[in-house]
């Protein structure tokens, strides 16, 4: 079998990476030249108390390498977390695309995914209000295909030339570098009010989508219209969707802010832990397909990245599933050095004239050149295709390939004109021959100019709690704007979306409520609401408050039942070590009230015990209040029930209190599956 016919399977990338993986443990310490060193604690000096000598090559090498350990962080999406996995096709897409990795049911392709926030620096917190990146590299037999997606289906701008403007506006303000990782400041809202194409994306940004509970509970959207092209050369427009099997769920804003302090690594920890525990996150890949003849049959331009294709009009067809199943060995080598590019395509996937996509096609390689220090970043292990790659490109910083022979040009006769181009019939990429005609203009199509209809469609699709959160988000974010005129401009702009919304937050931020406005769109798209997402308790994290003298027989049974349905329990008590039940059963404590907090749990289960003191009582009350305020499921049995009675919560929504252990487990799991209990009266 020829090398380039080698069958790619889900292990191919790991087999390749194995050549680079090194375990240093148990080895001798050497310099980078392989010289074994007898001493690594002391620099070479002229006398024990004398100056360090220039000839100390070991000291120089060690310090020099350290001095150069950092590379520039990504200009956007700096904070990210990467994991390995595999993609499996459910249904052949041959009818639409000749992409081989989508060609047959059951076919598996290795993938690497990097999730990220956009605005914050590399060391910022995970749970800030922001768009999330969801970039996937498929290592296919025809080369790497990158689906560089976000967790929201639209974007702030319509033309790539405005990307530096939006990013300059939303990043910390340059005169004082504040605020970190947040859009809640003057320049961002000044941009929004004066670039009204951002309206739709800003609605998403103010919604719960901007504070995902987990990367495992987040959608991904390719945003742009791409093209599928089949063997016969026939093309269709296509949009890509990742749909998490655990449903789409979010934090509440107060909780997100507190987690940013209590556990800034909250989302990456959640992902890392899930994979370590074998709770492999799964996402289905969906496509929306539009025939070329229907390009102009919508009341929006299908090439406009500030628009969705409503699923009621263009259904999402599920075509495969991605499973994330391995953490990286080294974050720098893999997550930091991975280089995505929407222009990394394979035969059968092509671009459209979406002006935002066109801008991206330039930017990504350009940014890797500075970030990864030269043109050979494709040779870095995480970026290497699993299929062979050969051409006449040579040299440059950090070149690793040793190209033999003297020919590095086309056309040649010395090497029989190889490396040879490949006809499209044999798998060579050929750009889709779209017919293009027009004058050279710096302009925007009229069809891109409706900025409010889909923003209103989104608003109409929200449930009442979601609408409330959006109003509160505007009140928080725009309320942080110091310039009064900008606050007013934002109110006036969003009056074009919905009068009730603009009036509600105008009142909170000291602006004049709009007298008129509101889009006339009445349509809604129910799938946009997270209330209609998949609901399951599987993999949720429950904090269990336990003290000595608890009812060990019942509690053990409840623990077993909850674990069986896939919940993860963490025992919280006053001290680390063990707590002992009334019959002598001992349970390990995972956390004290000091080392954890109610905000990092999906639900709270209060058992208590008879060994309680005042501090325990107060700490439990604090946990309970916070969980209640964040609409979380709360369970209590035995001694634990007294906290609910004391705090008048026993009959509230999502609160389960009974000593009937079977009933308790069933009701508590149901309450956890519901995620949050928005109809709870907050006292
Ligand atoms: Fe990006 N974007 N982007 N972007 N983007 C980058 O590339 C850019 C856009 C997205 O985990 C950069 O390697 C321009 C849309 C993700 O490594 C940079 C425009 C979408 C990631 C860049 C956009 C994205 C990036 C910075 C407008 C969703 C992180 C570092 C024309 C579909 C990938 C890098 C990772 C990263 C440019 C708009 C998603 C500068 C010019 C729309 C998920 O090249």
Q: Binding residue per annotation — 114?
A: yes
| 431 alpha carbon – ligand 1 mean position (Å) | 23
DSSP letters, 479-543, are HT---HHHHHHHHHHHTTT-HHHHHHHHHHTT-PPPSS---------GGGSGGGS----TT-EEE
Mean pLDDT of the chain: 97
Ligand 1 proximal residues by C-beta, below 6 Å: 74-77, 80, 114, 116, 133, 135, 148-150, 155, 160, 163, 222-223, 305, 340, 356, 359-360, 363-364, 367-368
Label residue 6 by pLDDT band (50, 70, 90).
low
Q: Which residue has its alpha carbon closest to ligand 1 atom 18?
A: 364
Per CATH, is 452-531 categorized as 3.30.1310.10?
Answer: no
- Kind and range of the H or E run holding 616: helix 614-629
Q: Binding residue per annotation — 221?
A: no
pTM above 0.90, yes or no: yes
Give pLDDT tens digits for 345-373.
Answer: 999 999 999 999 999 999 999 999 999 99
| 133 alpha carbon – ligand 1 mean position (Å) | 8
pLDDT at 678: 95
DSSP letters, 100-114, are GGGSSTT-EEEEEEE
Quick one: tokens of 350? 């092509």
| Atom number of ligand 1 nearest to Cα 163 | 27
Pairing of strands 235-244, 282-291: antiparallel
Quick one: tokens of 492? 């006036």
The 8 Å CB, 24+ separation contacts for 2-7 are: 3/388, 4/387, 4/388, 6/141, 6/387, 7/141
> Within 10 A of 586 (CB to CB), how many other CB atoms are there?
12
Q: Binding residue per annotation — 439?
A: no
Radius of gyration of the chain (CA): 28
To the query of whether residue 625 is one of the catalytic residues in this protein, the response is no
Which residue of the set 58, 84, 144, 150 is catalytic? 150
| 351 alpha carbon – ligand 1 mean position (Å) | 16
Label residue 213 by pLDDT band (50, 70, 90).
very high
| 554 alpha carbon – ligand 1 mean position (Å) | 52
- In angstroms, rounded to a whole number, what is the distance separating the alpha carbons of residues 122 and 681? 39
Q: Binding residue per annotation — 163?
A: yes
ipTM: 0.98
| Atom number of ligand 1 nearest to Cα 224 | 32
| Atom number of ligand 1 nearest to Cα 358 | 31
Label residue 7 by pLDDT band (50, 70, 90).
confident
Give pLDDT tens digits for 296-343.
Answer: 999 999 999 999 999 999 999 999 999 999 999 999 999 999 999 999
pLDDT at 682: 63
> Within 10 A of 542 (CB to CB), how many other CB atoms are there?
24
- Domain range list for the chain: 80-169+210-383, 452-531, 535-673
- In angstroms, rounded to a whole number, what is the distance separating the alpha carbons of residues 346 and 139? 10
Q: What are the strands, taking DSSP E only, across 292-395?
A: 317-327, 349-350
pLDDT at 612: 73
Q: Fold for 535-673, please state it.
A: Rossmann fold (3.40.50)
Q: Which residue has its alpha carbon closest to ligand 1 atom 19?
A: 360
Residue labelled with tokens 């329990």: 569
Label residue 683 by pLDDT band (50, 70, 90).
very low
Q: Which residue has its alpha carbon closest to ligand 1 atom 23?
A: 360
| Atom number of ligand 1 nearest to Cα 150 | 28
3-class state of residue 317 by DSSP? strand
| For helices 464-479 and 499-508, angle between their N-to-C axes, nearest 10 degrees | 40
| Atom number of ligand 1 nearest to Cα 76 | 26
Taking the CA of residue 324 as centre, how many other CA atoms within 13 Å lie in the half-sphere pointing to its CB? Answer: 33
Give pLDDT tens digits for 214-271.
Answer: 999 999 999 999 999 999 999 999 999 999 999 999 999 999 999 999 999 999 999 9
Pairing of strands 349-350, 226-229: antiparallel
Quick one: tokens of 445? 């199509």
Q: Which residue has its alpha carbon closest to ligand 1 atom 30?
A: 74
| 8 Å CB contact between 274 and 215 | no
Q: Binding residue per annotation — 215?
A: no
Percent of the chain exceeding pLDDT 90 equals 97
- Compute the Cα dihedral for 503, 505, 508, 512 and give only its sign: negative
- In angstroms, rounded to a whole number, what is the distance separating the alpha carbons of residues 138 and 235? 22
Give pLDDT tens digits for 261-304.
Answer: 999 999 999 999 999 999 999 999 999 999 999 999 999 999 99
pLDDT at 610: 86
To the query of whether residue 77 is one of the catalytic residues in this protein, the response is yes
Label residue 681 by pLDDT band (50, 70, 90).
low
| 503 alpha carbon – ligand 1 mean position (Å) | 34
Q: Fold for 80-169+210-383, please state it.
A: Catalase HpII,  Chain A, domain 1 (2.40.180)
Quick one: tokens of 79? 């904070």
- In angstroms, rounded to a whole number, what is the distance separating the alpha carbons of residues 207 and 210? 6
Q: Binding residue per annotation — 371?
A: yes
């Amino acid at each position: 079998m020829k090398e380039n016919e080698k069958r790619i399977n889900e292990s191919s990338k790991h087999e390749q990476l194995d050549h680079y993986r090194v375990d240093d443990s148990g080895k001798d310490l050497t310099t980078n030249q392989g010289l074994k060193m007898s001493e690594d604690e002391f620099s070479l000096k002229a006398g024990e108390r004398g100056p360090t000598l220039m000839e100390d090559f070991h000291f120089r090498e060690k310090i020099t390498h350290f001095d150069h350990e950092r590379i520039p962080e990504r200009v956007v999406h700096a904070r990210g977390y990467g994991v390995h996995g595999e993609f499996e096709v459910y249904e052949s897409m041959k009818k639409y695309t000749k992409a081989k990795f989508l060609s047959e049911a059951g076919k598996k392709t290795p993938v690497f995914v990097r999730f990220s926030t956009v605005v914050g620096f590399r060391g910022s917190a995970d749970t800030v209000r922001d768009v999330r990146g969801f970039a996937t590299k498929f290592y296919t037999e025809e080369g790497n295909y990158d689906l560089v997606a976000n967790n929201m289906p639209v974007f702030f701008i319509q033309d790539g030339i405005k990307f530096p403007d939006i990013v300059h506006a939303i990043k910390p303000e340059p005169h004082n570098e504040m605020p970190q990782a947040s859009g809640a400041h003057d320049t961002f809202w000044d941009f929004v009010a004066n670039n009204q194409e951002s309206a739709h994306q800003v609605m998403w940004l103010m919604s719960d989508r901007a504070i995902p509970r987990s990367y495992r509970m987040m959608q991904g959207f390719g945003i742009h219209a791409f093209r599928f092209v089949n063997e016969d050369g026939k093309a269709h427009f296509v949009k890509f969707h990742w749909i998490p099997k655990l449903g789409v769920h979010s934090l509440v804003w107060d909780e997100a802010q507190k987690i940013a302090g209590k556990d800034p690594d909250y989302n990456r920890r959640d992902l890392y832990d899930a994979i370590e525990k074998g709770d492999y996150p799964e996402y289905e890949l969906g496509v929306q397909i539009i025939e070329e003849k229907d390009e102009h049959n919508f009341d929006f331009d299908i090439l406009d990245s500030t628009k969705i294709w409503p699923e009621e009009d263009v259904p999402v067809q599920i075509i495969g599933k991605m499973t994330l199943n391995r953490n990286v060995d080294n974050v720098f080598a893999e997550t930091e050095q991975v280089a995505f590019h929407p222009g990394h395509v394979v035969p059968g996937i092509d671009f459209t004239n979406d002006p935002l996509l066109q801008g991206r096609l330039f930017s990504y390689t350009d940014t890797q050149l500075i970030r990864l220090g030269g043109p050979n970043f494709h040779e870095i292990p995480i970026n290497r295709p699993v299929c062979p790659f050969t051409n006449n490109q040579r040299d440059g910083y950090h070149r690793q390939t040793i190209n033999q022979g003297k020919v590095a040009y086309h056309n040649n006769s010395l090497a029989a004109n190889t490396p040879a181009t490949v006809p499209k019939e044999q798998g060579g990429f050929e750009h889709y021959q779209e017919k293009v005609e027009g004058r050279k203009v710096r302009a925007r199509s009229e069809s891109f100019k409706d900025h409010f209809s889909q923003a209103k469609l989104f608003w109409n699709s929200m449930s009442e709690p979601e609408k409330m959160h959006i109003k509160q988000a505007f009140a928080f974010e725009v309320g942080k704007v110091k310039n009064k005129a900008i606050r007013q401009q934002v109110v006036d702009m969003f009056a074009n979306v919905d009068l009730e919304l603009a009036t509600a937050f105008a009142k909170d931020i000291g602006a004049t409520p709009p007298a008129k406005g509101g889009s006339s769109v009445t349509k809604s798209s129910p799938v946009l609401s997270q209330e209609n997402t998949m609901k399951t308790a599987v993999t949720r994290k429950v904090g269990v408050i336990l003290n000595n003298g608890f009812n060990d027989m019942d509690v053990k049974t409840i623990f077993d039942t909850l674990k069986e349905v896939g919940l993860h329990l963490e025992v919280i008590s006053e001290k680390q070590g063990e707590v002992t039940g009334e019959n002598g059963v001992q349970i390990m404590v995972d956390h004290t009230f000091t080392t954890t907090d109610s905000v990092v749990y999906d639900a709270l289960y209060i058992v208590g015990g008879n060994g309680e003191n005042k501090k325990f009582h107060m700490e439990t009350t604090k946990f309970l209040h916070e969980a209640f305020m964040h609409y979380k499921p709360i369970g209590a049995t035995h001694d634990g029930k007294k906290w609910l009675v004391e705090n008048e919560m026993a009959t509230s929504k999502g609160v389960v209190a009974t000593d009937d252990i079977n009933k308790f487990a069933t009701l508590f799991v149901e309450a956890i599956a519901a995620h949050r209990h928005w109809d709870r009266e907050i006292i």
